[in-house]
Amino acid sequence: MRHRSLLLLLVLALLLAVTPPAHAQPKDTLTVALVSHAPTLDPHMHFERVGILVNINMFDSLLHRNTKLEYEPSLATSWKPINDTTWEFKLRKGVKFHNGDPLTAEDVKFSIERVTEPGKEKKKSPQYGNIRAIKDVRIVDADTIQIVTDKPFPLLLERLVFFPIVPKKHVEKVGDDAFGTTAPVGTGPWKFVEWKRDQYIRLEAFDGHWRGKPAFKHLVIRAIPEVATQIAEMKTGGVDLIRNVSADLVPEMKSSAQTYVSSSPILRVHYLELDMRSAPFDKKLVRQAANYAIDKQAIIQKLMGGLGQQVATVVQPKAFGFDGEVKPYAYDPKKAKELLAQAGYAGGVDITAHSAFVEFRPVFEAVTQMLTEVGLRTNARMWDPGPAWNKFFQTEGKATNAAYGSWGNYSVFDADAVLHPLFHTEPGGWIGKHYTRVEGLDKLIDEARSTVDQPRRKRTYSQIQYLIREEAPAIFLFTQYDTLAINKRVEYAARGDEWLWLFDAKPKR
Amino acid sequence: MASFLVRRLLRLVVVCAGVSLVTFAILHASGDPVALIMPEAPEADRAVLRQSLGLHDPLPVQFGRFVGRALTGNFGNSFFHRAPAFGLVMERMPTTLMLTVLSMGLALVVALPVGVYSAVKRGRAVDQVATGTVFLGQSMPVFWTGIMLILLFSVQWRLLPVSGWDSWAAAILPTLTLGAFTAPLLLRIVRSSMLEVIALDYVRTARAKGLSEWLVICRHALKNAALPLVTVTGLQFGLLLGGAVITETVFAIPGVGRLIVGAIRQLDFPVVQAGVFMLAMVVVSVNFAVDVLYVYLNPRIRLR
């Protein structure tokens, strides 16, 4: 009995000790909620979107991308190619790290070689694949470096937009572990204060930042996994900004007195991959019929809240190499039926389609319904996203006859970033490994990635887009928008690269 | 007594072995973490990673290694966090235990007096309200209760913070959520066992002695009625830890449950294994404690 009274006392004391919490946040604090934190704050030792979004506000890279998605000087003030495999960068003078050390060419070399680890068999950074082409970093003089690649590497500048520069001396002094947890130091607008795992990361404006001081003195990045909780935090002003507001929640965030919504088309394309290994999608006419069967506009307007743009292939309008001349498949159910009949399926055919994209279930169901209407009678199977689905779809390649998918290019604005990882068959791309069999496609993709001659690359990508539109290895749907909900006291706009570049955030008067 | 303890401890070992085998088997049947960690990488790179994670060995070898290490508290390094899985779990364990103990405390504080009272005043208004609430409480999923409490107390009335774990105020809603999940069952147990006990002869004898009703109920009846409650409280602890997984996600609490949910999504085997194992350890220990307590409370068991 004594224990129970103790417990009773404890709970009572707890209830009494509570002071009413202040909901309004201090004016100079900006609070952002992400679904989780990355495992480390070390910008080179993870490959997590949620980590990158935090890192970019603490670290600078050589190049920056502005809101129009053009390259802008950051730690490099200018850059030019010396030959097919060498680029030269002039470094900004007078840049200071958060600990007061000046930025040097040594730091740049150190940062890159931290990831490439020349001479080492096993690389510890998961970002190694991104810049494996870099063979050498030469220090020409105090403010000039050259980056040498083993073969022409057209994506170099794109990769350097997120490649944070870290201080050599400091990292060597504190060690990798401390650098990623308790002592991260960069040159960015905010410096590190405190990190409570799965709770919050606190940052404070860095007085010596070369761009000047950011508008908000304190930046807090909280980890809130549940969407409903994020929305409640937005409504009460506990959080100022959340990402990935889905179409069904947009009206609620728009009508709330405290919040507004900002949207931008992003590099994420949705499609239904078709299994070309077996009937009926081994026939081109059937794959084309499937593309004609879908009313993409209706889906965008009715199910995506108008936030989407129809695409002809998987190449995004914003990516380098996009060819607007390649026209999307029109909605033409009559033509779809004709093509099916030509392919020998006049009476229709039974197929199965899979999806693990819970958030886009209505889209998936609409697509399968439209397929059924033209005679591709679809059995729609929803999966739990996770291990079983990955094994089924990716490891074993059993997602016959079709599977819903989306691809985000890893935020790289280049056609290669969707074509190679999706369709290339060797090494196996996301779809190409098992499902896509388009003759000549591998060769064209390889050709376009092995030159820095941009006009030539553009021509090759045009060719590829005509080819995949014709061959239709997937039902091409739309590009997605990124939607932020923002507290009205903060002025900020969603970016096409899904970055949260919070230096641009300003208090609204 | 000693042989009783030994037998119970032995059972504890068997349960732990079972738990680790089952988690291990399910995890390894569920997919290739390497494909998830490096989706775009060429097979050669994946092989290197697989080698370094020890995933290339045959399953029995992997399991043997896992058990061997687990005995020394080493569950391997998290694939995702790149830190010892055991440390990650233990770092979050106090939070989860705090949440469950608070909720259990709240549930008992509500269930005990209300249960006793509604048994004594059977059929009266209090009893009917209590029974109705039990029905309601048991029908509400934890997830939904949590969201509703947030909408009411945080969004509507602005009394409490929506989420987090950095103040006592932030702990109230999660405790309520989880407590509301447990209290109904406990209340029902208290009520029904109390009803059973107050009909017994010895209670009538106590009354006949002229003891006050208060003394009869609390001193004599409750002591016997509490026995099933102790058992159920022990069992409920396991369920409560399960509920904590969801509560931690809804309220963004940095506990073991949320860690495990994230780890399952990332196929982070070591963390799932360490997390499930340690939670199982907690449940088993609590039940062991309940068994011991039972012996103390009920002398009849000592003989068996």
Contacts of B162 in chain A (CB under 8 A): 229, 232-233, 236, 238
Tell if the CB–CB gap between B40 and A40 is shorter than 8 Å.
Answer: no
Q: What single DSSP character describes residue A103?
A: P
CB A224 within 8 A of CB B252: yes
| CA separation for the pair A152, A83 (Å, rounded) | 9
Residue A8 is predicted with a pLDDT of 56
- Asked if B43 is an interface residue toward chain A (Cβ–Cβ < 8 A), one would say yes
Q: How many CB pairs under 8 A join A and B?
A: 139
Q: How many residues does chain A have?
A: 509
User: Is residue A414 a contact partner of residue A426, using CB atoms and an 8 Å limit?
Assistant: no
Q: Hey, of A34, A121, A199, A383, which one would you mutate to test binding to chain B, going by the most B CBs within 10 A of its CB?
A: A199
Option in B37, B42, B83 nearest A427 (CB): B42
- What mean pLDDT is reported for chain B? 85
Torsion of the alpha carbons at A330, A335, A340 and A341, rounded to the nearest 10: -170
- Helices (runs of H) and strands (runs of E) counted in chain A: 15, 19
- What is residue B206's DSSP assignment? H
pLDDT of residue B92: 93
pLDDT for A103 equals: 97
CA distance B143 to B177: 8
Q: What is the pLDDT of residue A1?
A: 42
Nearest CA in chain B to A409: B40
* Interchain contact, A390 vs B258, CB within 8 Å: no
Whether B31 and A390 lie within 8 Å, measured CB to CB: yes
The predicted model gives B107-134 an average pLDDT of 86
| CA separation for the pair B72, A463 (Å, rounded) | 60
- B252 and A394 in contact by Cβ < 8 A? no
CA distance, residue A358 to nearest chain B CA (Å): 14
Which tops the pLDDT comparison, A13 or B177?
Answer: B177
Indicate if the pLDDT at residue B140 is higher than 90: no
User: Taking the domains of chain A in order of start, what are their residue ranges?
Assistant: 24-58+176-264+483-507, 63-167, 265-481
CB contact under 8 A, A11 and B45: no
Output the CA–CA distances (angstroms, integers) from residue B198 to A226, B76, B120, B131, B225, in the order listed: 47, 55, 8, 19, 9
Nearest Cα residue to A438 out of A294, A293, A275, A326: A275
Please state the CATH superfamily assignment of the domain spanning residues A24-58+176-264+483-507 in this structure. Periplasmic binding protein-like II (3.40.190.10)
Query: Between B15 and A41, whose confidence is greater?
Result: A41
Say what the pLDDT of residue A403 is: 96
CATH classification of B85-297, choosing from 1.20.1440.230, 1.10.238.10, 1.10.3720.10, 2.60.40.1180?
1.10.3720.10
A138-169 pLDDT, tens digit each: 999 999 999 999 988 888 998 999 999 999 99
B26 touches chain A (CB under 8 A): no
Q: What tens digit of pLDDT does each residue of B180-209 get?
A: 888 988 998 999 999 998 888 888 888 888
The fraction of chain A above a pLDDT of 90, given in percent, is: 71
| Structural contact between residues A264 and A494, judged by C-beta atoms closer than 8 angstroms | yes
Which residue do the tokens 């060690």 mark?
A: A175
Note the helical H segments in A120-166.
156-161
A84 vs A153: CA distance, rounded Å:
8
The enclosing H or E element of B189 equals helix B168-198
Which element (helix H / strand E) includes A77?
strand A76-83
Of residues A375 and B215, more confidence is placed in A375
3 state SS of A202: strand
State whether B45 and A129 contact (CB < 8 Å): yes
Domain range A265-481, its CATH number among 3.30.70.1380, 1.10.10.10, 3.10.105.10, 3.65.10.10:
3.10.105.10
Q: Is the pLDDT of residue B144 over 70?
A: yes
Place of tokens 């259990």: B104
β-bridge mates for residue A63, sequence order: A73
For strand A402-407 and strand A259-274, is the pairing parallel, antiparallel, or unpaired?
A: antiparallel
In our burial notation (b when 16+ CB lie closer than 10 A, e otherwise), range B27-57 reads bbebbbbbbbbbebbeeebbebbbeebebee
Query: B 83-102 residues with CB below 8 A of A?
Result: 83, 91-92, 102
Q: Can you tell me the ipTM of this complex?
A: 0.84
A63-167: CATH topology: Dipeptide-binding Protein; domain 1 (3.90.76)
- Judge: A11–B254 Cβ closer than 8 Å, yes or no: no
Half-sphere exposure of A202 (CA within 13 A, CB side): 5
CB contact under 8 A, A21 and B160: yes
Across the interface, do B31 and A395 touch by the CB < 8 Å criterion?
yes
Instruction: Report pLDDT digits (tens) over B153-164.
Output: 998 888 999 999
Residue-wise pLDDT for A431-487, tens only, equals 888 999 999 999 999 999 888 888 999 999 999 999 999 999 999 999 999 899 999
Task: Quickly state the pLDDT bin for B30 (edges 50, 70, 90).
Answer: low
Q: Give the pLDDT band (50/70/90) at residue B226.
A: confident
- What's the pLDDT score for residue B37? 65
Name the nearest CA neighbour of A182 among A166, A162, A202, A199. Answer: A202
Is B58 in CB contact (< 8 Å) with chain A? no
Over residues A360-369, the pLDDT tens digits come to: 999 999 999 9
Nearest alpha-carbon partner for A230 in A244, A251, A247:
A244
Q: How far is B96 from chain A (nearest CA, A)?
A: 13
Closest-CA distance, B220 to chain A, in angstroms, reads: 13
Contacts of A129 in chain B (CB under 8 A): 38, 40-41, 45
Could you say which residues from 134 to 163 on chain B have a Cβ atom under 8 Å away from some Cβ of chain A?
A: 147, 150-151, 154-155, 158-163
The parts of chain A modelled with pLDDT lower than 50 are 1-2, 16-22
pTM of the model: 0.82
The pLDDT score that the predictor gives to residue A7 is 59
Where do the domains of chain B lie? 85-297
3-state DSSP percent of chain A in helix, strand and coil, to 5? 35, 25, 40
Q: Over the stretch A24-34, which tens digit does the pLDDT of each residue have? A: 578 899 999 99
Residue A409 pLDDT = 78
CA-closest candidate to residue A490, choices A266, A263, A264, A258? A258
Distance CA(A284)–CA(A263), nearest Å, equals 36
